[in-house]
Structure 1
Amino acid sequence: MNGEKVTIEVDGRQLEAPRGSMLIEVMDEAGVQVPRFCYHKKLSVAANCRMCLVDVERAPKPLPACATPVTDGMKVFTRSERAQAAQRDVMAFLLINHPLDCPICDQGGECELQDNSVGFGGSRSEYAEIKRVVVDKDIGPLIETEMTRCIQCTRCVRFGEEIAGMRELGAIGRGENMEIGTYVARTVVSELSGNVIDLCPVGALTAKPSRYKARAWEMFAHDSIAPHDSVGSHIAVHTFDGKVIRVVPRSNEAVNECWISDRDRFSYQGLASPERLTAPQLRQEDGSWRAVDWETALTAVAAVLRQTDPERIGALAAPEATLEELYLFQKLMRGLGVSHIDHRLQQLDFSDQEQVSTAPTLGCSIPELEQQQAVLLIGANSRQDQPLLNHRLRKASLKGARVMAVNPYRVAYNFEVLQCAVAPADMVTELAAIAQAASEVCGQPLPDAVVALCAGLTVSEAARQMARSLCEAEKAMVLMGNLAMQHADMADLRALSSVIATLTGGTCGYLPASANSVGAWLAGVLPHRAAAGQAAAMKGRDAVAMLQEALPVYVLLHAEAEDFNNPLLAGQAFAAAEQVIAITPFAGAGLREQASILLPAGAFTETSGTFVNAEGQWQSFQGATAPPGQARPGWKILRVLGNRLELPEFDYVNAREVLAELRLELQGTRPDNSYHIGREPERRAPEGSWQRIGEVHMYRHDGLVRRAPALQALVPPAVVRMHPQDMAGLGLADGDRVEVRQQAVLTLVVRADEGIPRACVYIMGGLDATHALGGLSGGLELSPVTGEVEA
């Protein structure tokens, strides 16, 4: 397709279109209605449903609009007798084997087959033969199948191949025997799999968790923003009878296009968790809990905060909280003189926090990510942590971009990646080698701070290729992911990432972990900075230091021990504290053992608020349902607490006033990724005989998703993954048991994985079975366990 325009005529209307564009695209742009089933603007053209047949002058027969390029002078008729007859005939063929079970189909009322059969089909069927029946397939806990309804449009198949990057569904058989299914009987595991529900034009693929819960016309749609990763996907929350029934995507080309991740789609199930907190509760002397009114609860909280030395209070917030909640949280704490404030619950290394800019962001707009020509990922499992940013990276790769990665294990990307998997303790050295290679390739001197580190390094060919690709690209980026930000030497990794980006003329950016990671920096939920990046009057302790010191009082905002890098340390600190005040939608068994006061807060569908996404875009939303019981939006709880404590400037009427105050403090300041190396990076020897590699599974990321049953069914069991040669050295076979000693002793099954570096073990974090081990990284000991266990 080029910039040359041609003129065509559609139903008597003169239209201009780029030469080579498809007829259906031109007609959609002009608002001309053409029925279709297999065509979708984000997928390749298949032209196998034939529903979009139109009458083209001088063509011997009707042509599919989706596969017919426009030519100058073309005359098209969409409502001529020949076009209508062709559409009626196609509709009749498609309905031959359809069960016509609309009254019990979840797609009823929003079904393209219904709409097109009424709008373009005949009024009666002449088919009186026995219909074909297809046995349903169980493809997992998220997607319900009724394959007898399938019309073989292959949208789901093309989505898997072209968007998700995983060929999980395919067409099997020929003619009348053709069926859509998995090639082998297994669960669909793509992190974007739920999008086939929206793509399916009939009721063959529907959402299993919301099956038979409500009809389409009974639900109300509420615009909202997804609360998990840092993309800030635009979603619609569908409610019925005051309850959230399902979540679907809203189109926004600049953010999520028309897709959402499965985490964003199905996590709403957690809203109905039996662990929802519906009334304020106070812990009694005998350990039991008593529900109280808000007056009693707030009086108790105010008494604790007034009577405690501010230096003995730790304030910890989860980065999934709204911008308004985060801003008021730090304002409340600082108003009391508390300086120990943090949201970086997964971070271990804070040594360079003074060198970081106002807020670490992606470094470009989300659409610009797919325009990059070279990208170096550092400690980034983008498929799991940011599925839709990963989708943009995949699009860049398919366009010819060179994507490279340095990770502590071999990540299973769904596109071509030049990847170096090195032990966690060797990541600093590997990046130093790339920096050395970049200096040589680009002819730029190394900064003084890293000269000593890079001296004498052996530069591998892979490191040289990465440096060369970054240097030669006009648009290049170096992106740090969750595995890097959680690394014990994160400051050194950040310094070297900045050096590599500077030497190669690229941009240094981050893949922020949570929905409001950027917003938490702007709001000042940090020990060294107040709102808008202003230096704090008194610098406090970071999240790890707060836990290690075991303060007598902790105030938690949407945070649980499971949200921390070391859940064991967090749980022990909270359990040992005299008072733990939790503002939270959920109260699990762990929090009930640790807390003393529970204040029920609304979840994201029950409050108005704002998330700041990875590129720094502020996205506000309204609540879709009322909070359950006596629960209240978090920002209102904090506002009333401020009033109760007689703090100035806490007289807000609505969340918009809170947001306006923060905007005024920022005065147009936007986050950037400028960075100054404060100290020389150094190599450190690993601790223990084995190095642990750990990360939190995407379906254990936060309190809401941890309570979504359908997503929890996809969380793998806790195992130890090791390199086969290391297993052989210990006399282990796949499926044997091994004793793991970190901060506790656990016995786990061991699995062979050639993607794990030597002398390392991968043990997933965020699981109930592995919490007792402690932090996600560090040294540990292993020993084989005699006896066999089932695989």
Structure 2
Amino acid sequence: DQPIINHRLRKAALDGASVMALNPIDYEFNFPLDYKIIAAPNSITRELSAILKAVIKLSGEKVETAITKLLKDVTINKTHRAIADTLFNSDDAIVLLGNFTTTHPQLALLRTLSGEIAKLTHSKLGYLSEAVNSSGAWLAGAVPHRLAGGIKNSNIGLSSHEMLAQKLKAYLLLGVEPELDCWDTRIAQQAMQDADLVVALTAFQSEALNSYADVLLPIATFAETSGTYINNEGTVQCFNGAVPPQGEARPAWKVLRVLGNSFNVDGFDYESSTEVCDESIKAIGKIEGDNTDQWQLTVTAGAKKQGLQRITETPMNMIDSLTRRATSLQKTNDVADGAIHINSTLAEKNKLSNADDATVEQDKQQVTMKVIVDERVPDNCVLIQSAHPSQSELGGAFGSIKIGKR
């Protein structure tokens, strides 16, 4: 789903670099992997803990007492040792956290474990961010606890999940379709339906938006406005709109400016997006490609096994409202299929096959989905692709799930 970094990894692998993976899905890479571990989401922390324990033994260094206690009962196998040894004995290594990590319920623990591995093996630490401007959003302070440049926010706000779970009276949506885009689509839909006011800044109408939004304000797509991206390397990339917005649509920043002025809110007097960018870049300062410091050590117990586990992935042609409406992209294989993917062992256990429909239950919500037998999926796991209407009534992207023959 990230072709540029994939190209670089492939070139490195073909030049002799060692590439190793810890994933919940056995993906087919277009370059060789030296080692791989495929594990259920609730086992990922345990597998990463085992790699860290092997690294600690190689380094001989002391770690925090809390980490020592966490690793006490962790068992190391030969794959954990091989991965640890490869990282420890490499002169130029990097530990990359991907999309499954950043959406995992135990991200803080995974980040702590990865950070310790990187520190003890003298490796770099990086992220394969979810979206094209995730790095820019973090640096610009589009998070509840930070201002631009990483300055601590004394007035900490709510995360998007907290906003939805607390069922606020009003919501302002910016280019998002909650029933398709959110981590827990069921909670998102319920929050929209229960709110007194929902205002959606959107480039598209939909039946769902019309059902809960009180006001739709048309905005331009990314190609119809100027703006700035900051990629994973920290490179600032500014651009202009390629074509004018359609109809009465306006760039989202202009709509927000008008709304801010209408409410007499300070800080909404910008005349161009360039002014916004210049102010943000000044606050951000020099961008350092270093994720190793300024992270609070978080050590909690790993997840306990809870029956069948849901795995959720978002195909690259389903990532936003624009790609989901691109006719050509929707004819490719990289779209959500509205099915559950299970391996043959789980299929046989539940007397299911490719020709069947299955009942799928999560958080006391039940839907019917078709079955695809997929050997990439580990035992006791169910892979569901997000951003498809068939799964919008279920719960979070990870967690316990039940399936049965319809």
Residues 1:773 and 2:394 are matched in the alignment: yes
CA contact (8 A) 2:318 2:336 kept: no
1:467 to 66, 84, 87: 84
Instruction: Tell me, yes or no, if the aligned pair for 2:369 and 2:390 is still in contact at 8 Å.
Output: no
Asked if structure 1 preserves the Cα contact closer than 8 Å seen for 2:218 and 2:249, the reply is yes
In the alignment, residue 80 of structure 2 is paired with which amino acid?
Answer: A
- Which of these residues, 395, 401, 410, is aligned with residue 11 of structure 2? 395
Asked if 1:727 is matched to 2:344, the reply is no
Shift of the 597–671 alpha-carbon distance from structure 1 to 2, 3 Å rule, reads: farther
CA change 1:676–1:525 in 2 (3 A) is: closer
Q: Pick the aligned partner of 1:509 from 118, 122, 126.
A: 126
Structure 2 distance, partners of 1:727, 1:667, is 54
Q: Could you say what secondary structure the match of 2:390 adopts?
A: coil
Is 2:375 the partner of 1:757? no
CA distance in 1, matches of 2:351, 2:271: 67
CA distance in 2, matches of 1:553, 1:672: 38
Q: Name the structure 1 match of 2:300.
A: 681
Q: CA deviation at 1:451?
A: 0.8
Cα distance in 1 for partners of 2:287, 2:233 equals: 14
Matched letter for residue 681 of structure 1? T
Cα deviation for residue 459 of structure 1 reads 0.5
Could you tell me whether the CA contact under 8 Å between 1:695 and 1:766 is conserved in 2? no
CA-CA distance at 1:640 after TM superposition? 2.2
Deviation at 1:719, TM superposition (A): 2.2
Deviation at 1:650, TM superposition (A): 2.9
Match of 1:657 in 2: 275
Match of 1:584 in 2: 202
- Cα RMSD (Å) of the superposition? 1.7
Q: Secondary structure at the match of 1:772?
A: coil
- The alignment partner of 2:126 has SS state of strand
- In 2, Cα distance between the equivalents of 1:389 and 1:521? 20
Q: Which of the residues 233, 256, 260 maps onto 1:615?
A: 233
Contact 1:566–1:775 (CA under 8 A) maintained in structure 2:
yes
Pick closer, same or farther for the CA change 1:724–1:508 going to 2, 3 Å.
same
Q: Give the AA of the match of 1:551.
A: L
Query: How far 1:620 sits from its partner (Å)?
Result: 0.5
Counterparts of residues 3-18 of structure 1 (less than 5 Å): none
Pick aligned residue for 1:449 from 66, 72, 81: 66
Describe the superposition over 1:324-368 as per-residue Cα deviations: whole angstroms up to 9, x where unpaired.
xxxxxxxxxxxxxxxxxxxxxxxxxxxxxxxxxxxxxxxxxxxxx
Q: In 2, distance between residues paired with 1:649 and 1:747?
A: 48
State the alpha-carbon separation in 1 of the partners of residues 309 and 217 from structure 2.
40
- How far residue 666 of structure 1 moved from its aligned partner, in angstroms, is 2.6
Scaled by the length of structure 2, what TM-score is found?
0.94
Shift of 1:669: 5.5
Matches within 5 A, 1:132-147: none
The alignment status of 1:717 with 2:337, answered yes or no, reads yes
Q: Where does the alignment leave 5 or more consecutive residues of structure 2 unmatched?
A: none
Q: Which residue of 1 aligns with 2:23?
A: 407
Answer yes or no: is the 8 Å Cα contact 2:314–2:336 preserved in 1.
no
In structure 1, stretches of 5+ residues that fail to align are 1-383, 786-791
Q: Distance in 2 between matches of 1:646 and 1:732?
A: 60
In 2, are the aligned partners of 1:436 and 1:446 still within 8 Å (CA)?
no
- What's the offset of the Cα at 1:663? 2.3
Q: Distance in 2 between matches of 1:605 and 1:748?
A: 35
Provide the secondary structure at the position in 1 that maps to 2:281.
Answer: helix
Contact 2:128 2:232 in 1 (8 A): yes
Structure 2 match to 1:740: 360
- The structural deviation recorded for 1:649 is 4.1
**Matched-pair contact (CA < 8 Å) for 1:498–1:675:** no
Cα shift readout 1:532-554 (whole Å, capped 9, x = no counterpart): 22222311221111101110011
> Do the aligned partners of residues 667 and 424 (structure 1) sit closer, same or farther apart at CA in structure 2, a change above 3 Å counting?
closer
1:614-653 paired onto structure 2 within 5 Å: 614-653=232-271
Deviations 1:275-303 (A, max 9, x none): xxxxxxxxxxxxxxxxxxxxxxxxxxxxx
Deviation (angstroms), 1:670: 4.3
With over 3 angstroms needed to count, the CA separation of the structure-2 counterparts of 1:538 and 1:661, relative to structure 1, is same
Matches within 5 A, 1:315-394: 384=1, 386-394=2-10
Displacement of 1:667 in angstroms is: 3.8
Q: Measure, in 2, the Cα distance between the counterparts of 1:570 and 1:662.
A: 30
C-alpha spacing 1:732/1:582, structure 2 compared with 1 (3 Å):
closer
Q: Which amino acid aligns with 1:778?
A: G
Which has the higher relative contact order, 1 or 2, with Cα contacts under 8 A spaced 6 or more apart?
2
Percent identity reads 37
CA apart distance, 1:455: 1.1
Distance 1:478 1:456, change over 3 A: same
Structure 1 residue 749: Cα displacement: 2.9
Partner of 1:788: none
Cα deviation digits, residues 457-493 of structure 1 (max 9, x gap)? 2111111110011111111011010111111111111
Aligned pairs, number: 400
Corresponding residue number in structure 1 for 2:221: 603
Where 1:769 maps in the other structure, the secondary structure is helix
| Partner deviation per Cα, 1:374-408 (whole Å, 9 max, x = no partner) | xxxxxxxxxx2x11111111111111111111111
Corresponding residue of 1:46: none
* 1:554–1:577 CA contact under 8 A, matched in 2: yes
1:565 and 1:776 in contact (8 A); partners too: yes
